[in-house]
Amino acid sequence: MNMSATVTVINKQETQIPLADAVFQRILDAIYDGRLAPGSVINEVSMAQEFGVSRGPVREAIRRLQGIQLVTREPYIKARVMSLSAESALELFQMRMALEGMACNLATQRMPDDEIDALLSEMEQDRQQRVSGAEQPRVFDFHERIVRASGNQRIIAALCGDLYHLLRIYRRHSGTVLERKDDAYAEHWQIVRAIKSRDGGLAESLMRSHIERAANHLVRHLPDTVRQ
């Protein structure tokens, strides 16, 4: 795909996305879906050729990825996708336990009934798409939905800002084994049932337990070559 100075995206109104933003998103997507694996070198020249752009936008995108800790680069060394670390994973998931647990409690108090019903419907739609193997037009993020439903802007900024990208990488690896995917989905249902019943304490406890199990699963399944 050859990109021009801007990439056109059509929504309700046509907007123009700067080239550097488009390159940033494409590299980010490659990290998300594993085409750029943890620890792999990011070759600016080959990437610029692949995207049909100069090295400038690629270099700028890599700098932005460094800023959100998805890419590492030391002086005179090529940029690499960050390596997964058991220690880093535990720290991030411990933070999530505290913040997402509280977000879940707040969502129980603040989430309207129709929004809860919509979330349940989207969860079922997402499950059916995954079972059928159908191509998903968008990414359904259960955890982001709960965090935003909390209405707490500081928690939202902490978990849905730049740190969101790093959290998403670790979360992706925590759910790569089919058994954990099935368990995680069942746990999501239990959390939403607690929210629907307006039991904030139970919802918070279930979310904290869910994240703790995901953390333990991730640490056990990180390959030795990736663990620091």
Which CATH number belongs to the domain containing residue 34 in this structure? 1.10.10.10
Same domain as 179, residue 103: yes
Which stretch of DSSP H or E encloses residue 60?
helix 55-67
Same domain as 98, residue 71: no
- CA dihedral sign of residues 212, 216, 222, 228: positive
Is 10 a residue whose pLDDT tops 60? no
Same domain as 44, residue 97: no
Same domain as 49, residue 107: no
Average pLDDT over the chain, rounded to whole? 83
CB 51 within 8 A of CB 23: yes
Q: Please, where are the H alpha helices in 68-162?
A: 86-110, 113-132, 142-149, 153-160
43 against 6, higher pLDDT: 43
Question: What is residue 221's predicted lDDT score, i.e. its pLDDT?
Answer: 67
Domain span at residue 101? Answer: 86-221
181 against 103, higher pLDDT: 103
Same domain as 76, residue 165: no
DSSP 69: T
Question: What is residue 35's predicted lDDT score, i.e. its pLDDT?
Answer: 87
Same domain as 207, residue 192: yes
Our count of domains for the chain comes to 2
Report the residue count for the chain.
228
pLDDT > 90 in the chain, percent: 44
**C-alpha angle 87/204/155, rounded to 5°?**
65
Is 188 a residue whose pLDDT tops 90? yes
Same domain as 134, residue 63: no
Same domain as 174, residue 110: yes
Q: What is the pLDDT of residues 112-123, one digit of tens each?
A: 999 999 999 999
Q: Which residues pair with 72 in a beta bridge?
A: 80
Q: Is 36 a domain residue?
A: yes
Question: What is residue 8's predicted lDDT score, i.e. its pLDDT?
Answer: 33
Question: What is residue 132's predicted lDDT score, i.e. its pLDDT?
Answer: 74
Question: What is residue 3's predicted lDDT score, i.e. its pLDDT?
Answer: 38
The structure tokens listed for 176 are 């790569």
Show which of 81, 104, 134 is a domain's final residue. 81
Same domain as 163, residue 71: no
CB 22 within 8 A of CB 53: no
Is 9 a residue whose pLDDT tops 70? no
Is 178 a residue whose pLDDT tops 70? no
pTM of this prediction? 0.74
Is 6 a residue whose pLDDT tops 70? no
